[in-house]
Amino acid sequence: MSPDDYCQQKTAQSGSSFYYSFLFLPPERRRAITALYAFCREVDDTVDETTDQSVARIKLAWWRGEVAQMYDGTPTHPVMLALQPHLQPYDLKQEHLQAIIDGMEMDLDQSRYLDYPNLKKYCWHVAGVVGILSASIFGVTNPQTLKYAETLGLAFQLTNIIRDVGEDARKGRIYLPISELQQFNVTAADLLNARHSEKFEALMAFQARRAQALYDEAYALLPQEDRRAQRPGLMMAAIYRTLLDEIEHDGFHVLTQKISLTPLRKLWLAWKTYVRG
């Protein structure tokens, strides 16, 4: 299996909404974004699938070294071998890839966030930076496009947090800021014990409004001259925002179920966005 094939398999197996937007890219950019996404999956799985935290830290340290070796021209992992040819053409910076690993390590250090600024810092590492790197691969002529991509990445991550509240709680993780739980009189025990209530719905509606505002902010930041190149990000946004709408319409029953869109619907949303240009 070639490094590109390895990354393609890793990305397709994930079932992620991102996969559908990659299908519409030219081959070279598609290989680059697929390798980037496979890297994100590898380091994310290092934390999610390793029960011993000390082992997870050792694995993340190995990935840090592997990223550094990639920039020195001596990578060994298939994902790094696949990503290396794209570093210079798309100006992919090592500090951004290392920042993603920093975000994964934050999951080993804490399972609660005191307030939104602290959560936002985490989201920047695991999603904002990914947005910047992705936009660079899609094509950027105006630096403001990177700010659009960073903001869109934050919107995606907040959508994920809303969708995964129950699943994360079952793992002992609560990403909703403690200060906002207190504001809406929802306790950590309510989440950990899957207690759905009107107070919980009000809390989640507040979270959804913030995410929706970030989608609007991102769209407003995207310069017209880069809109066509950035269509893959807009496709992802169409899918994620539709998912957020579905969660809202369902009354935020996310403590006991994971709401998702069918693959066909994701593909339809991606295609519709692509055609709209």
Lowest mean pLDDT among 10-19, 114-123, 159-168, 169-178: 10-19
pLDDT band at 20 (very low <50, low <70, confident <90, very high): confident
244 contacts 162 by C-beta, under 8 angstroms: yes
Q: What percent of the chain has pLDDT over 90?
A: 84
Return the closest-CA partner of residue 247 out of 166, 134, 129, 185.
166
- Banded model confidence at residue 17, pLDDT cuts 50, 70, 90: confident
Other beta carbons less than 10 A from residue 222's beta carbon: 22
The average pLDDT across 137-156 equals 97
Residue tagged 């993780």 (tokens): 173
Contacting residues for 225 by C-beta, under 8 A, at least 6 apart: 141, 142
Q: Give the model's confidence band at 277: pLDDT under 50 very low, under 70 low, under 90 confident, else very high.
A: low
**Rounded mean pLDDT, 160-180:** 96
Average pLDDT, the chain: 94
Task: Please give the average per-residue pLDDT across 28-43, as a whole number.
Answer: 95
Report in angstroms the alpha-carbon separations of 94 from 62, 98, 152, 260. 15, 6, 21, 33
What integer is the mean pLDDT of 210-230? 97
Mean pLDDT of the region 53-75:
96
96 versus 14: the higher-pLDDT residue is 96
Residue 15 has pLDDT above 80, yes or no: no
The pLDDT, as a whole number, for residue 21 is: 81
pLDDT average, residue stretch 136-162 = 97
Structural contact between residues 80 and 87, judged by C-beta atoms closer than 8 angstroms:
no
Closest by CA position to 200, among listed 213, 187, 219, 217: 187
Helix segments in 53-187, DSSP class H: 53-72, 78-83, 94-109, 116-123, 129-138, 144-163, 165-170, 178-183
Q: What is the pTM of this model?
A: 0.94
pLDDT of residue 273: 87
